[in-house]
């Protein structure tokens, strides 16, 4: 039993639905629990929190047993923070009252979490005297996240905290979550069905489908798998970590280096040497056999064809391309695959139409 790991095994049958998972999750960083609605993500999270008792299960979090044969730690005795999908602030308390509710009950053995720091981390200093019904959806969720942190948790569970928000509100909260990701040294389990959120926030991913874990591993590797079991369609793509190695103020571009190559991206203000995360969607990659210099596409890299697999969509294929040690995934028509006569091991040019800096 490793100290720095979450071992979660649950089996639960409930009106036609079965959750049956046996997971070893890293004891640090953000692990996305990803899947379509009805895949059992929330149920899994509730089992971990103890809000739901699986018929059979064991749960060990960083060396502590929370559930096992003859062992059941009640939810209020588990040192965890939980952020619910929809607003869950107590309506009879102000934002400050909600935060103090957590602060008063925080684990006395845990390190004290600074009230002021948490408040400024989530940018809610001006909202403290308001009641929940005087806050917007995004503000409520930020207060709820701060409240979950003030309990001094040793595990943070987030159940689609952005799902009930519109696009603008999501964009408002994501930077706070990214900030949190770098500041927290506790493991975070982040339930989501949105591939873009997962790409931005997660270090690890567990894909759930109909109550079973169908893929699990480090985010970058797992997303680059052609047999990634959950259909992402237009959202299929890879995530890379890259360092800023050059900034070109004239064209407002930055050159970033990843293992095996470099990409030009829009300069997002990151200083030189900064590490950032970029996402390249499979639909934004095209392949050519010769290098075109007369193209509008900035990023043309040399790569080697890896596996080729038919996509679920008729007439499309997924192709893995190795650029140095990094794997990209391209989505092409089967006709293009035949036309270029693509074969594993073949060298070609990879044109990347767009690269999104997501962090």
Partner 1 sequence: MSFSAGDITALWLTLRLASLVTLLLLLLGTPLAWWLARTRSRWKGPISAVVALPLVLPPTVLGFYLLLAMGPNGPVGQLTLALGLGTLPFTFWGLVVASMLYSLPFVVQPIQNAMEALGERPLEVAATLRASPWDRFFSVVLPLTRPGFLTATILGFAHTVGEFGVVLMIGGNIPGATRVISVQLYDHVEALEYGQAHSLSATLLLFSFVVLMVVYGFNRRQKLARMGPL
Binding interface with partner 1 (CB under 8 A): 49-51, 74-77, 80-82, 84, 88, 90-92, 101-102, 105-107, 131, 133-134, 147-148, 151
Helical ranges in the chain per DSSP H: 41-49, 95-105, 115-121, 137-150, 167-183, 195-201, 219-223, 334-340
Cβ–Cβ under 8 Å, residues 56 and 11: yes
Cβ-in-10-Å burial (0-12, 13-18, 19+) of 233 comes to middle
Cβ–Cβ under 8 Å, residues 168 and 200: no
User: For the range 311-318, what are the long-range contacts, defined as Cβ-Cβ under 8 Å and sequence gap of 24 or more?
Assistant: 312/231, 313/233, 318/226, 318/236, 318/282
Cβ nearer to partner 1, comparing 114 with 171: 114
Cβ nearer to partner 1, comparing 155 with 356: 155
Q: Which residues on neighbouring strands pair with residue 159, listed in sequence order?
A: 191
Cβ nearer to partner 1, comparing 159 with 284: 159
Angstrom distance (rounded) from CA 253 to CA 246: 9
CB of 53 to partner 1, least distance (A): 13
For residue 259, give both structure tokens. Answer: 């293992």
Angstrom distance (rounded) from CA 76 to CA 50: 9
CB of 88 to partner 1, least distance (A): 5
CB of 109 to partner 1, least distance (A): 12
CB of 202 to partner 1, least distance (A): 22
Place of tokens 């044109």: 351
CB of 99 to partner 1, least distance (A): 10
- Residues belonging to the chain: 359
Cβ nearer to partner 1, comparing 16 with 91: 91
CB of 86 to partner 1, least distance (A): 8
Q: Which of 76, 70, 56, 67 is nearest to 7 (CA)?
A: 67
Cβ nearer to partner 1, comparing 106 with 184: 106
Cβ–Cβ under 8 Å, residues 22 and 206: no
CB of 147 to partner 1, least distance (A): 7
Pairing status of strand 285-288 against strand 347-352 = antiparallel
Cβ nearer to partner 1, comparing 87 with 232: 87
CB of 85 to partner 1, least distance (A): 10
Pairing status of strand 30-34 against strand 188-192 = parallel
Cβ nearer to partner 1, comparing 134 with 295: 134
Cβ–Cβ under 8 Å, residues 158 and 83: yes
CB of 17 to partner 1, least distance (A): 19
Measured from the Cβ of residue 2, the count of other Cβ atoms closer than 10 Å reads 12
Cβ nearer to partner 1, comparing 75 with 260: 75
Cβ nearer to partner 1, comparing 99 with 216: 99
């Amino acid at each position: 039993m490793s100290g720095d790991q979450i071992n979660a095994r649950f089996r639960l049958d409930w009106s036609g639905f079965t959750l049956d998972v046996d997971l070893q999750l890293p004891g640090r960083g953000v692990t996305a629990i990803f899947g379509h609605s009805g895949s059992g993500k929330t149920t899994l999270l509730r089992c971990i929190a103890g809000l739901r008792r699986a018929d059979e299960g064991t749960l060990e979090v960083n060396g502590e047993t929370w559930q096992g044969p003859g062992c059941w730690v009640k939810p209020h005795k588990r040192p965890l923070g939980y952020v619910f999908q929809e607003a869950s602030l107590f309506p009879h308390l102000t934002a400050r009252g909600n935060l103090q509710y957590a602060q008063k009950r925080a684990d006395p053995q845990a390190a004290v979490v600074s009230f002021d720091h948490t408040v400024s981390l989530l940018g809610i200093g001006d909202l403290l005297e308001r009641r929940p019904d005087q806050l917007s959806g995004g503000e409520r969720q930020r207060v709820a996240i701060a409240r979950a942190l003030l309990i001094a948790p040793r595990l943070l569970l987030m159940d689609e905290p952005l799902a009930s928000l519109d696009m603008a509100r999501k964009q408002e909260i994501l930077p706070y979550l990214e900030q949190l990701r770098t500041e927290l040294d506790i493991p975070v389990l982040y339930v989501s069905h949105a591939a873009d959120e997962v790409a931005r926030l997660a270090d690890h991913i567990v894909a759930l489908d109909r109550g079973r874990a169908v893929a699990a591993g480090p985010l970058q590797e797992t997303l680059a798998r052609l047999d990634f079991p959950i259909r992402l369609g237009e959202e299929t793509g890879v995530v890379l970590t890259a360092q800023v190695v050059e900034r070109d103020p004239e064209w407002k571009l930055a050159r970033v280096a990843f293992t095996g190559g470099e990409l030009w991206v829009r300069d997002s203000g990151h200083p030189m040497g900064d590490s950032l995360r970029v996402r390249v969607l499979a639909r934004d990659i095209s392949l050519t056999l010769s290098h075109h210099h007369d193209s509008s596409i900035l990023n043309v890299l040399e790569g080697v064809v890896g596996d080729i697999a038919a996509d679920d969509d008729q007439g499309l294929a997924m192709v893995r391309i190795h650029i140095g040690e990094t794997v990209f995934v391209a989505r092409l028509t089967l006709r293009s695959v035949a036309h270029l006569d693509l074969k594993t091991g073949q060298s070609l040019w990879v044109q990347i139409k767009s690269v999104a800096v997501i962090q």
